[in-house]
Amino acid sequence: MLSKATPAPIRTAALFAAGVVLLTACGGGTTDSSADGGGDKADGFPLTLKNCGRTVTVKAPPQRAVSVDQGSTEILLSLGLADRLAGTATWSDPVMKGLEKANKGVERISENRPSSEKVLDKEPDFLSASFASTLAKGGVAPREQFEKLGVPTYISPADCTGKDNSGGGDGARTAPLTMDSVYTEVRELSQVFGVPERGDAW
């Protein structure tokens, strides 16, 4: 298990760096793009959780999720959820070592930030992002737009906890980034996809 004192590799975004440290140190979990079927069981659903000031309800484990930020995508791949991803977007670096095979089986709908139309073309049943600005005005689209269409959205807690995003853009951090928020993301995403044991294993 990762020590919270483990230094982060150099990345342009502090959040992404934290995610890379966590996943690399833990060996990446399973990288097989085919899930073991644990997500087919609907025990514990509908699932409701608080995420970045919003209440998010997921009626069943997602089967056609779209991840619109690289950090979020790599967490999902590391949880062995490649076969539940209908598409990914916004890549600034090569995929993390050890996830190449899983990533190769997922459609990359855009190298950069995609339009909301491109995202909706994939008929997603869940949308994840690493940054609040991605799912806001000026980003892909505000969370409300997807939620009105019945698509639950999730933003990395690390970009909300100890951070003021009210001014738009990248926001302003009011407290240091901690690994606890990254662990929370791993745990909550594993719950959302109906495979909590994978998150607990980290």
Radius of gyration, alpha carbons of the chain: 15
Q: Give me 202's structure tokens.
A: 């980290």
d(CA 191, CA 22): 18
> What integer is the mean pLDDT of 160-170?
80
Which conformational region is residue 162 in: left (phi greater than 0), alpha (psi within -120 to 50 degrees), or beta? left
Q: Give me 129's structure tokens.
A: 């992002």
d(CA 183, CA 161): 13
Local confidence band at 96 (pLDDT 50, 70, 90 cut-offs): very high
| Share of residues in the chain with pLDDT > 70 (%) | 78
More confident call, 70 vs 164: 70
pLDDT at 157: 96
Is residue 192 within 8 A of residue 154, CB to CB? The reply is yes
Local confidence band at 41 (pLDDT 50, 70, 90 cut-offs): low
CATH fourth-level superfamily of 43-200:
Nitrogenase molybdenum iron protein domain (3.40.50.1980)
> What integer is the mean pLDDT of 90-118?
97
Local confidence band at 43 (pLDDT 50, 70, 90 cut-offs): confident
More confident call, 36 vs 183: 183
- Side-chain-side CA neighbours of 184 within 13 Å: the count stands at 19
Instruction: Give a three-class secondary structure readout of 8-56.
Output: CCCCCCHHHHHHHHHHHHCCCCCCCCCCCCHHHCCCCCCEEEEECCEEE
How does strand 172-173 pair with strand 85-89? unpaired
Q: What is the mean pLDDT of the chain?
A: 83
Whether the pLDDT of residue 13 is over 70: the answer is no
Which conformational region is residue 106 in: left (phi greater than 0), alpha (psi within -120 to 50 degrees), or beta? beta
> What integer is the mean pLDDT of 61-86?
98
Whether the pLDDT of residue 3 is over 70: the answer is no
Whether the pLDDT of residue 193 is over 90: the answer is yes
Displacement of CA 93 from its chain's centroid (Å): 16
Local confidence band at 202 (pLDDT 50, 70, 90 cut-offs): confident
Local confidence band at 25 (pLDDT 50, 70, 90 cut-offs): very low
Is residue 44 within 8 A of residue 193, CB to CB? The reply is no
Torsion of CA 88, 144, 178, 68, to 10 degrees: 10
> What integer is the mean pLDDT of 119-136?
98
